[in-house]
């Protein structure tokens, strides 16, 4: 089983829900699966330090449970783009701590699900892009498509960018982020026909989605 990098068509596309569901899908198949959120902005101060809600969701979905500092090496307080949030915190996001944490997580897991930030081209710092991490980790990419108006354009552009950057697009997951989206099934059919990778699942709009209960909806690439 391969580890995966999860990216999205944009911020709010459903990456964390999809990542946590992938973890539960892997665990349901008897695999040791742990999550990772290398860079997270919008963190809260807690007794153990700065913590991010998305990273905590991945930690909760993991088995074995990773230490937070490995799961989220760069926890940035301000809810801004990582490059701006790290600047505000006086921190430089670099690849070395992330790769070291990924290596530690990999020694205790059959599969590591690494969740990116925002969309594929969102920079991590002035000198580090998400594609750099994917190449260094040698991970296939799963694209989360937030189903809403404009998703066809965003999904096709992102898929093209992933492949143009020399990375493998292993599959995509549709996430129903807009419960009022018109012609949802028709849009899914258009995405199926045009994206150059298989659909791994569809996570429908839900008021309180539970990744463990949605795991049967996801295929592992």
Q: Which residues are catalytic?
A: 37
Distance CA 138, CA 3 (A): 9
* The Cα angle at residue 96 between residues 92 and 102, in degrees rounded to 5: 120
Residue with tokens 């980790």: 137
- In the chain, % helix, strand, coil (3-state, to 5) comes to 40, 25, 35
Among 156, 150, 147, 83, which residue's Cα sits nearest to residue 117? 83
């Amino acid at each position: 089983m391969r580890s995966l990098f999860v990216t999205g068509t944009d911020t709010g596309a459903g990456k964390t829900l999809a990542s946590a569901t992938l973890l539960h899908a892997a665990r349901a198949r008897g695999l040791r699966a742990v999550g990772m959120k290398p860079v997270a902005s919008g963190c809260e101060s807690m007794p153990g330090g700065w913590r991010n809600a998305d990273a905590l969701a991945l930690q909760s979905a993991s088995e074995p449970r990773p230490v937070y500092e490995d799961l989220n090496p760069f926890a940035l307080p301000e809810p801004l783009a990582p490059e701006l949030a790290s600047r505000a915190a006086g921190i430089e996001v670099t690849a070395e701590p992330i790769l070291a944490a990924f290596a530690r997580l990999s020694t205790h897991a059959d599969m590591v699900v690494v969740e990116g930030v925002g969309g594929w081209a969102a920079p991590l710092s002035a000198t580090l892009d998400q594609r750099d991490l994917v190449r260094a980790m040698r991970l296939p990419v799963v694209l989360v498509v937030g189903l809403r108006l404009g998703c066809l354009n965003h999904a096709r552009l992102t898929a093209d960018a992933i492949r143009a950057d020399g990375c493998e697009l292993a599959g995509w997951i549709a996430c129903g982020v807009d419960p009022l989206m018109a012609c949802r099934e028709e849009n899914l059919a258009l995405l199926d026909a045009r994206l150059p990778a298989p659909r791994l699942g569809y996570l429908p709009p839900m008021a309180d989605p539970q990744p463990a209960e949605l795991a049967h909806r996801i295929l592992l690439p």
